[in-house]
Amino acid sequence: MKLPRIIVSSGEPAGIGPDLCLSLSQINLPCQLVVLADPDLLRQRAQQLGLALDIRLYNPDQDLPQHSAGQLSVWPISLRVPCECGELNKANSPYVLEILNTAVNACLYGPFDAMVTAPVHKGIMNDAGFEFTGHTEFIAIRCGAQPVMMLATPGLRVALVTTHLPLANVSQAITQELLSSVIRVLDHDLRQRFGIPKPRILVCGLNPHAGENGHLGHEEMTIIKPSLAPLSEAGILLEGPLPADTVFTPKYMERADVILAMYHDQGLPVLKHLGFGNAVNVTLGLPIVRTSVDHGTALDLAGTGQADSGSLFFAIETALAMIPTTS
């Protein structure tokens, strides 16, 4: 039986991404797995962490073994300049982009079934002159797809209508076209990727109290409700718009397959409070499977041995579950 193939992007080299990738060398996994990174960076970080490391350079012309503890298959990509833990250097931003592009290509055109990403630092990428708002948007552009960002932890899934936008721009960005597209992608991928036959989607309002019949905002009446009605008639199970301050309570959560928030900080603080370190970021709407950790680069933890690998392990577990069995 063919083993699924996972490719892991090691992310920002000065952060905890290399530490997380090294943690994979300590466990067995039911897949073939390759890490995209500079091998010398991994060796340096392993020495700091006191880890024994057996690196095997990936060769696409040779058989890839099942991933097992004690070794790590690495697709070598060279840093542009030497890297120190916790010290960002914009000169290495092209290295990060090369890793991401290689991972996308390996899934779109190569033999890999899914990509899993360690965190990147958006600020340093922009300081280097790259227009980069996040993994989700970057990968979606590369795939020519409409992305939907969803985070999941046991007991809760939260998807977003808008992702990395300033709060002042959110209301203008939410249109009937965007909301309808997001909901269709969400319904489709929960069926196809997660095996939920009839997903129930609970939709947040944008304003306090879901606008309170127009007294606290009009978007619920002019955009959200008109978007939901035809989708409900088409058979998608929707409920809303609901007040965001009450939808994350047991009464609602127990009947929701996913809660759709209008913007980043409306839904994700609740999910991260519930499951930080045991949550996964999933990009829906892509022709490939992509998952990621639920946290940032944690520059202060790089090389200290204090980085929690739980989210990376959960991201790999989720990716494996999302890969079609016919792959």
Residues 307, 317: Cα–Cα separation, whole Å: 19
- 130 lies in the same domain as 151: no
What is the average pLDDT across 281-294? 95
Q: Which backbone phi and psi does 90 adopt, to 5 degrees?
A: -65, -15
- 141 lies in the same domain as 163: no
Q: What pTM value is reported for the model?
A: 0.91
| pLDDT higher than 60, residue 327 | no
Q: Which residue did the predictor score with more confidence, 1 or 174?
A: 174
* The token pair that represents 133 in the structure block: 């708002």
What is the average pLDDT across 296-312? 94
Helix (H) or strand (E) holding 225: helix 225-233
Based on the structure, what is the number of domains in the chain? 2
Residue pointed to by tokens 């007294």: 215
Contact in structure between 231 and 193 (CB atoms under 8 Å): no
| pLDDT tens digits for range 31-56 | 999 999 999 999 999 999 999 999 99
Q: Residue 201, SS3?
A: strand
Residues 16, 296: Cα–Cα separation, whole Å: 9
| pLDDT tens digits for range 192-244 | 999 999 999 999 999 999 988 888 899 999 999 999 999 999 999 999 999 99
Print the domain residue range for 153: 147-282
% the chain with pLDDT above 90: 88
Whether cis (ω within 30° of 0) applies to the bond prior to 111 is: no
Residues 138, 3: Cα–Cα separation, whole Å: 28
CATH number, domain with residue 117: 3.40.718.10
What pLDDT, on the 0 to 100 scale, is given for residue 276? 79
What rounded mean pLDDT belongs to the chain?
94
